[in-house]
Amino acid sequence: MTLSGVGKCRQVGISESGIDEAVQKLLARGYNVGRMEQLETSEQAKSRGSTSVIRRKLVHVFTPSTTSEGNIGPDAVHLLAVKETCNELENGSTTFGFAFVDCAALKVWVGSISDDASCAALGALLMQVSPKEVIYDARGLSKDAQKALKKYSLTGPAAPLMSPVQPGADFVDPAEVKNFLDLKGYFKGSCNRWDHTFDGVTSHDVALCALGSLANHLERLMLDEVLRNGDILSYEVYRGCLKMDGQTLVNLEIFNNNADGSPSCKYNIFVKSSFVLILRGNCGNYIFFYSNCE
């Protein structure tokens, strides 16, 4: 990078050949980077008038949560959208709909979870996905859910960016989301039809609204290609009979080490089945978990 300018008007110049490297460095430091392209030459601009400004257009927005360089695999980067709805007829229980994307792998997952005031299931989702950024309704999340987001965001190597969506700037009606996805032709390249993916989702409407929030955000970042060509899949937070809430996953350091936040875990999964999970520690000790499915 080359610094220039006079006084407080500082400019940074980057050669075209080094733009990709510069963008990755800025993303690594947590910045969002917008890329603009010049649409005409200076001569073409002057032909429209001596005071005409050269036309430029924003063509892409890079963010730490949507980077697609070198993050496929265990270090995958996820952008997560969460929606919450209260079930008044079920003892005040809460349902969360969610959708998250891995832009490098061109994959989107959707699902829903039932939870209570402890937000243990939400914590398990956050620990499993480890998002770089969380999109949520600024007025649509309860205080308990917001506390859970803050609590579990501090357990990883880096706290995710929390991006509240202002009221009126997002979808609230599942029918609007369906029309939006069909109109845009999203997920045409998926191995599954997007509407069939929801056959395995318990709470369709809230999960669909979460997907709409995610799609709306990606469209603002001009990442339509991910939505058009990506696969859409259903995601289950609790698979099988053994359930671990978010705090248990933190204490056992299943997904990251509490000492330094790295993916190096304290225990290695040795045997896993529907009934028994055996974890072997670094010191050779064994921890047994038993789950009765009956």
Structural domains in the chain, CATH included, are 16-62 (no CATH), 79-234 (3.30.420.110)
In angstroms, what CA-CA distances link 15 with 2, 19, 67, 224? Answer: 9, 6, 21, 27
Q: What pLDDT does residue 76 have?
A: 78
Q: Residue 82's closest CA among 2, 184, 10, 160? A: 160
- 5-21 pLDDT, tens per residue? 556 666 666 777 888 88
Q: What pLDDT does residue 85 have?
A: 86
Q: Which two tokens stand for residue 202?
A: 């318990």
- Mean pLDDT taken over the chain: 77
Q: What pLDDT does residue 286 have?
A: 44
Adjacent-strand bridge partners of 188: none
- Secondary structure tally for the chain: helices H, strands E: 9, 13
Q: What pLDDT does residue 282 have?
A: 43
Q: What pLDDT does residue 218 have?
A: 92
Structural contact between residues 144 and 86, judged by C-beta atoms closer than 8 angstroms: no
- Tell me what the mean pLDDT of segment 193-212 comes to: 88
Q: What is the pTM of this model?
A: 0.74
The residue behind tokens 């009934």 is 275
In angstroms, what CA-CA distances link 119 with 41, 90, 124? Answer: 56, 16, 9
- 233-291 pLDDT, tens per residue? 999 887 754 566 666 666 666 556 655 555 555 444 444 444 444 444 444 444 444 44
Q: What pLDDT does residue 287 have?
A: 44
- Tell me what the mean pLDDT of segment 80-92 comes to: 76
Adjacent-strand bridge partners of 11: 4
Q: How close are the terminal C-alpha atoms of the chain, in Å? A: 64
**Rounded to an integer, what is the distance from CA 103 to the centroid of its chain?**
9
- Tell me what the mean pLDDT of segment 15-28 comes to: 82
The answer to which of 56-70, 110-124, 230-244 has the lowest mean pLDDT is 230-244
Q: What pLDDT does residue 264 have?
A: 55
Q: Which two tokens stand for residue 269?
A: 């999964």
- Tell me what the mean pLDDT of segment 195-199 comes to: 87
Longest dimension (CA), the chain: 81
249's CB contacts (< 8 A; 6+ apart) are: 123, 124, 127, 128, 255
